[in-house]
């Protein structure tokens, strides 16, 4: 491997792990916001638990990594600059949305960025595997929030019927404990899907540079990405926790459990189907679905509208930003 290519791969690995670290603290709220918002768990306890379960979840499979690393564009069709541009763009968007407390999708920031830099590099739209992109990315981009909403709504409706004769004191005490389990499951599901995005990017770089011949995620890539996300999770993300756990809808422990359970079921199903979904999308809409079981006005729709706008904007903005970065880097290098 030529020295300049090796340097490029090292830069990609560092940026990918930085992205994974940022994903950890940016998306920590997806797993623990409801349990912190309902005061079932202290923030420090919730963050430590989420870090451990994110680590475990990140090591379970590599199907989503293959979708990201070889199912959107061919590793043979891109250069190290393409991947560097994509990572820089995704990191910038993550920082901006984190600063303003917007629960943005790190997954779609990375996907949009990869599209933009690859298209600018090749100068053609044909570099993208559009069928795979539409079926595994866009379809799930549309369906997962909708399914998340109905999952939260249905689970909460079932609980309301089953617990109709229970006293409020019993319900609160029981689900304050049960929510620890649901938050743990949500953290595991987050790790199982989100950490694989960086695994896919690093493996793509290894294939495109000729370091490895086939797209098989090396064990050291799995472990390093899992650890990076766990460390990022340990840092936490109070800005996003406030938006997710408090601002969307007022939650009791039973509501938090229902939201976690509904979202985790959707994310684990997507992981099994190798679909890179946004835990942010699914968790946010699951909370909305739970809130809507009380009454539609229980959901703070202005906050929800701002979140949806960020979702819609993420892929095109990151594609444009990444394409611009790619154009600049090509001129420099």
DSSP character string of 34-76:
HHHHTTSS-HHHHHHHHHHHHHHHHTS--HHHHHHHHSSB-GG
Query: Residue 242 has what pLDDT?
Result: 53
Between CA 285 and CA 301 the distance in angstroms is 11
Query: Residue 214 has what pLDDT?
Result: 86
The DSSP bridge partners found for residue 64 are none
Between CA 44 and CA 134 the distance in angstroms is 39
Query: Residue 327 has what pLDDT?
Result: 96
Local structure of 286: helix, strand or coil: helix
Contact status, residue 200 vs residue 110, Cβ threshold 8 Å? no
State the chain's mean pLDDT as an integer.
84
Between CA 142 and CA 146 the distance in angstroms is 7
**In Å, how far are 174, 219, 285 from 249, measured between CA atoms?**
21, 41, 11
Per-residue pLDDT tens over the stretch 169-186: 999 899 988 988 888 898
Between CA 40 and CA 260 the distance in angstroms is 13
Instruction: Let me know the angle formed at the C-alpha of 138 by 323 and 225, rounded to the nearest 5 degrees.
Output: 70
Between CA 115 and CA 108 the distance in angstroms is 10
Mean pLDDT of 312-324: 93
Query: Residue 245 has what pLDDT?
Result: 46
Least confident segment among 134-148, 212-226, 301-315: 301-315
Mean pLDDT of 87-111: 84
The answer to whether residue 75 scores a pLDDT higher than 80 is: yes
Q: pLDDT over 70 for what percent of the chain? A: 88
Mean pLDDT of 284-290: 86
Between CA 75 and CA 83 the distance in angstroms is 10
Least confident segment among 39-43, 76-80, 275-279: 39-43
Per-residue pLDDT tens over the stretch 260-286: 899 999 999 998 888 888 887 788 888
Segments forming the whole domain that contains residue 93: 3-332
Q: pLDDT band for position 248 (50/70/90)?
A: low
Our count of domains for the chain comes to 1
Between CA 202 and CA 24 the distance in angstroms is 17
What six digits make up the tokens of 131?
A: 């069928």
The answer to whether residue 14 scores a pLDDT higher than 50 is: yes
Nearest alpha-carbon partner for 183 in 25, 22, 29: 29
Contact status, residue 148 vs residue 263, Cβ threshold 8 Å? yes
Contact status, residue 283 vs residue 30, Cβ threshold 8 Å? yes
Mean pLDDT of 71-98: 90
Quote the distance between the C-alpha of residue 83 and its chain's center: 19
Q: pLDDT over 90 for what percent of the chain? A: 31
Secondary structure string (H, E, C) spanning 111-158: HHHHHHHHHHHHCCHHHECHHHHHHHHHHHHHHHHHHHHHHHHHHHHH
Query: Residue 329 has what pLDDT?
Result: 93
Mean pLDDT of 16-43: 76
Least confident segment among 4-18, 47-61, 126-140: 47-61
Between CA 155 and CA 129 the distance in angstroms is 36
Between CA 293 and CA 157 the distance in angstroms is 7
The answer to whether residue 309 scores a pLDDT higher than 80 is: no
Q: pLDDT band for position 220 (50/70/90)?
A: very high
């Amino acid at each position: 491997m030529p020295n300049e290519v090796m340097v490029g791969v090292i830069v990609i690995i560092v940026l990918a792990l930085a992205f994974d670290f940022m994903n950890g603290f940016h998306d920590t709220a997806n797993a623990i916001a409801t349990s912190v918002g309902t005061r079932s768990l202290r923030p420090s306890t919730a963050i430590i638990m989420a870090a451990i379960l994110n680590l475990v979840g990140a090591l379970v499979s590599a199907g989503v990594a293959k979708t990201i690393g070889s199912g959107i564009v061919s590793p043979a069709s891109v250069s190290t600059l393409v991947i560097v541009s994509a990572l820089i763009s995704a990191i910038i968007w993550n920082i901006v949305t984190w600063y303003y407390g917007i629960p943005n999708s790190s997954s779609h920031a990375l996907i949009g960025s990869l599209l933009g830099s690859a298209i600018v590099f090749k100068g053609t739209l044909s570099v993208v595997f559009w069928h795979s992109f539409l079926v595994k990315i866009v379809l799930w981009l549309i369906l997962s929030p909708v399914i998340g909403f109905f999952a939260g709504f249905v689970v909460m409706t079932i609980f309301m019927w089953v617990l109709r004769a229970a006293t409020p004191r019993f319900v609160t005490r029981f689900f304050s404990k049960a929510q620890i389990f649901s938050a743990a499951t949500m953290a595991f599901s987050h790790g199982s899907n989100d950490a694989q995005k960086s695994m896919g990017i690093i493996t793509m770089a290894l294939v495109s540079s000729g370091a490895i011949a086939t797209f098989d995620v090396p064990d050291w890539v799995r472990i390093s990405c899992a650890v990076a996300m766990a460390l990022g999770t340990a840092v936490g993300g109070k800005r996003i926790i406030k938006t997710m756990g408090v601002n969307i809808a007022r939650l009791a422990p039973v509501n938090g459990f229902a939201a976690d359970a509904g979202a985790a079921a959707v994310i684990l199903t997507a992981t099994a189907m190798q679909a890179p979904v946004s835990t942010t999308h699914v968790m946010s809409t699951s909370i909305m679905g739970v809130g809507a079981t009380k009454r539609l006005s229980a959901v703070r729709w202005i906050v929800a509208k701002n979140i949806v706008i960020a979702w819609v904007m993420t892929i095109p903005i990151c594609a444009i930003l990444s394409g611009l970065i790619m154009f600049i880097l090509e001129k420099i290098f």
